[in-house]
């Protein structure tokens, strides 16, 4: 049974990495914008210095922060449990 555990962990990590491959990346510009809009934005950015991308109004990130914190806590609990179980053997 001890040989299967690292293999299952490696398989789970591989599946997670493959799943993350399909997560879309965030782009600050629209793919449908024209060259005229892009050059105007570049001129404005160079004259005003670097600015942040416009993200829109009212984007609530609270659920993502709560879920991310929960996942980190669950992961830490798994690590603590595995260390406690390994020291008992």
Full domain range(s) for residue 75: 63-89
Q: Is residue 73 part of a domain?
A: yes
The structure's pTM equals 0.36
Q: Is residue 85 part of a domain?
A: yes
Task: Please report the DSSP string for 70-83 in residue order.
Answer: HHHHHHHHHHHHHH
Q: Is residue 50 part of a domain?
A: no
pLDDT digits (tens, 9 = 90+) for 25-58: 666 555 555 555 666 666 665 555 666 666 666 7
Q: Is residue 18 part of a domain?
A: no
- Number of Cβ atoms within 10 Å of the Cβ of 41: 13
HEC profile of 23-47: CCCCCCCCCCCCHHHHHHHHHHHHH
pLDDT over 60 (residue 73): yes
């Amino acid at each position: 049974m001890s040989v299967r555990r690292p293999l299952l962990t490696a398989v789970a990590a591989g599946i997670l990495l493959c799943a993350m491959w399909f997560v879309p990346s965030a782009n600050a510009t629209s793919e449908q914008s024209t060259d005229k809009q892009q050059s105007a934005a570049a001129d404005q950015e160079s004259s005003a210095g670097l600015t942040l991308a416009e993200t829109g109004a009212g984007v609530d990130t609270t659920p993502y922060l709560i879920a991310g914190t929960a996942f980190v806590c669950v992961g830490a609990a798994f690590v603590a449990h595995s260390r406690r179980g390994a020291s008992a053997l």
